[in-house]
Amino acid sequence: MTTYGSFPGTRPRRLRSNPVMRRMVAETRLHPADLILPAFVREGIGEPVPIAAMPGVVQHTRDSLKKAAAEAVAAGISGIMLFGVPEESKKDALGTPGTDPDGILQVALRDVRAEVGDDLLVMSDLCLDETTDHGHCGVLDEQGRVDNDATLERYAEMAQVQADAGAHVVGPSGMMDGQIGVVRDALDQIGREDVAILAYTAKYASAFYGPFREAVGSSLQGDRKTYQQDPANARESLRELALDLEEGADMVMVKPAGPYLDILARVADAVDVPVAAYQISGEYSMIEAAAEKGWIDRDRAIMEALTGIRRAGARNILTYWATEVAQKLRDQ
């Protein structure tokens, strides 16, 4: 006997009934243009060097970096964020390779621009941690503390040499007070109003950076808790956001991504500029390690993690899977 009007009358499962239905009603979509590839280039090596803590990621040579950039263009992603790893002997207290026109990052910027032109946004990490012998993101004072204002002077120089080397976008990531305003002024002073700033607005003092320290050959002893944000704080991010926008940021970023989706959502709701999120090394390595053990489905986990970041409000995502994911999206 048929009973009409029986409970439940509303059945959301109808919209999950098959793959085509689920695709049609999907609220969040990933696109290759959403993605940015972070890449490391190391001075003085003849072959790419695998990063043990980040399976599948390498420290590039200049030639392999150019190949990676060309692959990124072919995959349709929007940008490549470059991190330079100088020879250990060249590091010093001031991070001199960071402002040397012939430092590895500046050389790599010129290489990649020559390879891809304007087909890929060439972005540069603007920070001293890879180039200092103490591993901090700034200049130290006599007590061994990071000197905010002395560091800003170095960031201004870095911005100018990176722009001269071909960066479309600079990414100040040191979490120094006033860094966006100083970088904007430094760029404008040399007539580079065209270079955009991606502000690392909410960068937390996270335990998930561990594999990155290997990737850049960090010399850090201790931690960065006096300048990166406390993971316990949320409202502080909105204060940093307001300051970065007032100082001239063109885009803003939350880093890390996965553990801070609540922060990402709050930032995205608060602004009308593009919002990025950086899926950092520890997030990458956890999925790769669990997949290697056979504990999770690697490809599904990658897509789920990236979709969650996009759903939380990121317009763009920096991820070490950028090229791989973009290729899969284009093949769908």
66 is catalytic: no
The residue annotated as part of the active site, out of 67, 91, 225, 255, is: 255
Q: Mark whether 67 is an active-site residue.
A: no
Hey, which residues does 266 pair with through a beta bridge? none
Which residue of the set 203, 225, 293, 328 is catalytic?
Answer: 203
Residues 6+ apart with CB under 8 A from 137: 127, 128, 129, 146, 151, 173, 174, 175, 176, 224, 227
Beta pairing partners, 124:
82, 170
Query: What contacts 139, CB < 8 A, 6 or more positions away?
Result: 93, 94, 95, 128, 146, 147, 150, 151, 154
CA distance 100 to 273: 32
**Catalytic center residues:** 203, 255
